[in-house]
Structures are given as structure tokens and as C-alpha cells.
Structure 1
Amino acid sequence: MTEEEKNKFEEVMTKFREYCEPKKNLIHSRFLFYTRKQEESEPFDSFLTDVKRLVKSCKFGAEDEAVRDRLVLGTNDLNTQKKIVIEGDAELDTVITKLRLAELGRQQAAEVQGKVKVDKVMDKQSNSKPVHNNNMVLKCKWCGEQHERKLEVCPARGKLCTKCNRYNHYAKVCRSKYVKVIADSNLQNQEDSDGEFYCGSVQKMIQGKWN
């Protein structure tokens, strides 16, 4: 193909594209560009890419300045926006760098703060009192040792307390306020409904007499 044929081919293709492609509305294109703002959770690079795409249809004389202005005016980072405006006419690359670094700083700060919150929660949980649960290994109220909270597995089951003369607990955890006395034989092996020892009978001894 000669050079003349190539030029004719390009001319035909250009006219074909102009015919097939819909006519662009410059006012509408610029409206889309001017109203483009960064969404609340939108990454900065996504916002930047879309602004650069929209500016292509606007036919601005200075595209870099238009993109810079849209980034500054449309960003959701109001703190960085204020700093850029106060500093004055920054170049496009400077604006992009500042907005990227600000976003990265917020992400890193959020990670640090999130880690601190998790550590505080874990520390609080480790220092809190254990929740009573029948299936947890806790300090036993019958023997004073740690094992499953059930009387049937307690080593004090069937043992005689040397303090109150009752069964199913040791003297070191006995809650009786009375000294050791001879208990009624028909009450020695009696247990209440949830497995605790029975302390229903009252024994008193005043000056060697029973009342």
C-alpha cells in the first residue's frame, strides 16, 4: 500500500468513526466532570482514575490543572483539602501525593487503634472474674480444690467434716458457725436437692445442757 493509499484509508476510517460514534455533548461532559466527588468509602486511586477519564471528553486547554482542581474540590478528605488550599497553587503531582499519603496515614492509624482496642478487650477479659458454669473447672465449694463442679466427682463426697460432723465436705471449707457436736445419726448421710450438705438441725450446748 502506497503512502497516498494509507492517507486515504485513515481519512475514511476517521469519517467512519465520526459517523458511528454518537455526537458528544460538551456541556454534559463537563457537568459530569465538575460534579464528580469522591464517595465516602471510595479509595483515592479509584477517584483519580475516574476524574482522568472524565476530563478527556471536556476539551480543556489545560487538563492537568482541571484534574488538580477536581481532586482538591471533590476529595472527601477535608483536612488535607484545607492544607492544600492554604498552601496555594500546588502542582497536580503534589496534590496526588498529598492525598495518597493522607489516605495511607488514616489506614495505618486505624490499624493501630484497632489493635489497641483488641488488646484492651483481651486484657479486660483476662482480668475479669470467671463466669460460673456447671461444666467449667472451678474451685469446689465442698473440697476447696479445682475440678468439674459436680458433687459426684468431688473427693469430699461421703467424707465426714471434723468441724460440724456433717458429711460431703471438708472442714477447711465448712461454713458452719458451731463447734463439733454429735449429730443425729439419721441426718448424717442426708443431702439437699442440689448436692450441698444438710445443715438443717440446730445444735446448741449451753453450760453442758441441751435445749
Structure 2
Amino acid sequence: MSTVVGAVGPFEGNQEEWMHYVERVKFFCVANGITDTERKKAVLLSVCGVQTYKLIRNLLAPGKPEDAEYDDIVAKVKDHVNPKPSTVVQRFRFNSRSQKPGESVVQFMAELRRFSTDCDFGDTLADMLRDRLVCGVSDGRIQRRLLQEKELTFDKALSLARAMETAALNAEEIQRPTGDSVEGEVHKMQETKPSLPKMKCFRCLGFHPPNSCYAQRMQCHKCKKVGHLARACRGQRQPGQARNEIAAQSPVTKTHRVETTPTTPLPPKPLNIYF
């Protein structure tokens, strides 16, 4: 028993055109040495799937698939599934097509060739592709370079466009900073916020906001009041303690030296004594 080369699944109209599917069936037959027309028809009817076989029977009614020719079956399904589009509409789509963002020149030209299939350009196809490439390319540098050529053919235009596109991508990759450099730039851009001086708490003499101090629920052992500790009690302040506490709570303290010039003591006033 001979080995079967490859496989062809059922036809799915939402994923490919009918003629593309017929081409795959043709290549399957070539790979397996099937040259007889009747055997080709048998392969097509066997692998096309239930829905497509049912469509073929309806299109050939009142005749039967086994009585029809292979080319007739292909043509009837094509006219039903993929009827020939209007040439005017296809040319409008061709002439309106421009390169999309993120689309390479090769992908752009592949789409133009697909549109040109039903445009009936004939011998002028190469010129039409060249003109659409020059007018529809999105990169202004490539477009200006193509317009500088006096005798520009389609092959030359495509070669120049691909070369300039590849060079631009390579230059961008070379100039792109490495991971370490990018990380260094990010660190440079980050601003370090200056640390603010901490507030001295009057409840416990620590450095934090008083409203978050645990001592606000404690009882002082000196004055028996709730809200501060004994070491921060203000009930028994020594002379000058209030002034020192205010200075300690200030984030920044400055000391000013006051220099005084010594003065010569005045002589005592004479006493006037009257007798």
C-alpha cells in the first residue's frame, strides 16, 4: 500500500477562497502522482467536506456529481462562492490602498498584488504597482528617494524601498541604548525628594507627629493627666524650660551671637549736702 503524502482538510469559506482551496487539492494530487481527471474529481469530492459536497449536489441538480466534469464542478462552485468582482471597484481599491502603520513594504506590495488580480491591468501591471508604491509608501524619505529616479522601474523601486526600510530599522537598533544605559537614564531622571526634618512630639519627646503618639492614651506619673509621659510633663517646668522646648521642637535652630561692647562705668554723682 502506497504512502499518502500530505492531507487536505474540508473547505471553509470563511478562511480561504474557493480557488485557493482548489489549488491545494491540485498540489495534493501532484504530490501523490494523481494525474487522471476522474481521480482528481474523486479526491475533490472526498475531501471538500459535508457542507461543500451538499452545495455541489444542489448546484449540479438535477444532474449528479459523478456525471459532471472536474472543471465544471470547480467553475460552478467558484461562481457561487466567489463571484468575479467588479473591475472598477477593484481598481478603486487598488488606487486607494496606502501603506498602513506597522506594515512593511513587502506586506504592502503583497496586498497590492492581491487587489490587482481582478483589475485587468494586463501589460501595465508593473507600472501600476510602481506608481502605487511611490504614492502609497508612508515613509517620506523613501518616497523622496524614489521620486529622484528618472527611469524608475517597479523592480528598482521595490529594491530601493526595501533597502532603505531595512537600513532605517538597523540604524534604530544600533542607536537604541542597552538595558544598562536605559536603567541608568531612568535613575538619573528620578528626583530624590529631600527628607523633611521630623517633628518632635510634646507627648513623649520623640520625633514623630503628636497625633500618632502612643502616649496620648497614657497617664503622666507626675501630674496624673492623660496624654503625655512624665518625662514630657509641663506641670513642673524649670525656669527657661518652655523656651528650650520651643527651640527643640523647631526643625532648624539658629544661634545668634550678640556681641556687646564693654562700657566704662560712670563716676558716681557728687552728693550735694546742705547745712
Q: Is the 8 A contact 1:192 1:198 kept in 2?
A: no
Q: 1:90-134 CA deviation, whole Å, 9 max, x = no partner?
A: 343322221122223334455566649x87x939948x9964223
Q: What residue number does 1:67 align with?
A: 129
Separation in structure 2 between the aligned mates of residue 73 and residue 129 of structure 1, nearest angstrom: 47
246, 252, 270: which one aligns with 1:196:
252
Aligned equivalents of 2:173, 2:263: Cα separation in 1: 75
- CA gap 1:131/1:57 in 2 versus in 1, 3 angstroms: same
> Offset at 1:53?
0.9
With over 3 angstroms needed to count, the CA separation of the structure-2 counterparts of 1:11 and 1:46, relative to structure 1, is closer
Larger Rg: 2
Match of 2:148 among 78, 86, 94: 86
Q: Is 1:38 equivalent to 2:99 in the alignment?
A: yes
CA 1:75–1:125: 2 relative to 1, 3 Å: same
Choose which of 60, 71, 78 in structure 2 pairs with 1:11.
71
SS of aligned partner of 2:77: helix
For these two proteins, the number of residue pairs brought into alignment is: 160
1:24 matched to which residue of 2? 85
Contact 1:55 1:66 in 2 (8 A): no
Q: What is the one-letter code of the residue matched to 2:76?
A: F
2:146 aligned partner, one-letter code: I
Equivalent positions of 1:101-140 (< 5 A) are 101-110=163-172, 115=177, 122=185, 125=188, 131-134=193-196
CA distance in structure 2 between the aligned counterparts of 1:208 and 1:112, rounded to whole angstroms: 80
Q: Which runs of 5+ in 2 are unaligned?
A: 1-33, 42-67, 201-238, 265-275
Query: Is 1:207 aligned with 2:265?
Result: no
Distance 2:88 2:163 in 1: 34
User: C-alpha distance in 2, partners of 1:102/1:2?
Assistant: 46
> C-alpha separation between the residues in 1 aligned to 2:139 and 2:191?
44
Q: Any idea what SS the aligned residue of 1:87 has? A: coil
Shift of residue 78 of structure 1?
A: 3.0
Quickly say closer, same or farther: Cα 1:102–1:13, change in 2 above 3 A: same
Look up the SS of the partner of 1:97 in the other structure. helix
Structure 1: give runs of 5+ residues left out of the alignment. Answer: 135-148, 153-184
Question: Does the Cα contact within 8 Å between 1:29 and 1:58 map onto a contact in 2?
Answer: yes
Change beyond 3 A, Cα 1:198–1:192: farther
Per-residue deviation, 1:74: 1.4
CA RMSD of aligned residues (A): 4.3
